[in-house]
Amino acid sequence: MDGTTIWNIGAEGGYFVADDLAVKLGLGYGDNSNSPGFFSYKGGAKYYIKGVVPVQVDLNGISSKIFDNYNPLFLGIQGGYAWFVADNIAVEPGLRYDFGLNDDAEASEGVAFNIGFSLYF
């Protein structure tokens, strides 16, 4: 261990513009004990196939002064399953891939497993 502490916090929100189709926006902030903090952002769309298979496409990135203005930009695709534990609450495990769209993003491309929690109003 090198004694580095890294943390991130963020939130996403969406609005259903049609049955099973939502537009989404997200913002976040993170920090690393060895460098300045960074802001993250995301905008895209999510479609629920048969109401339980979410597929998402988004543009996402980071704005930071880390390493002389490190600002990667990605095109993300994501798919998974929505397990509804109540009428308006779902747990959504899934797989995600981010395609790098600029030089800063090339080293960070890859597959990620994630678990999301959704609350519907």
The answer to pTM > 0.85 is no
Of 116 and 1, the structure prediction assigns the larger pLDDT to 116
Quick one: average pLDDT of 62-77?
82
Decide if pLDDT at 23 tops 60: yes
d(Cα 48, Cα 15) in Å, to the nearest integer? 13
**How high is the mean pLDDT of the chain?**
89
Of 20 and 33, the structure prediction assigns the larger pLDDT to 20
What structural domains and CATH numbers belong to the chain?
Answer: 6-119 (2.40.160.20)
Q: Which residues contact 58 (CB under 8 A, 6 or more apart)?
A: 24, 42, 43, 44, 45, 75, 76, 78
Structure confidence at residue 90 (pLDDT): 96
Least confident of 14-28, 68-82, 100-114: 100-114
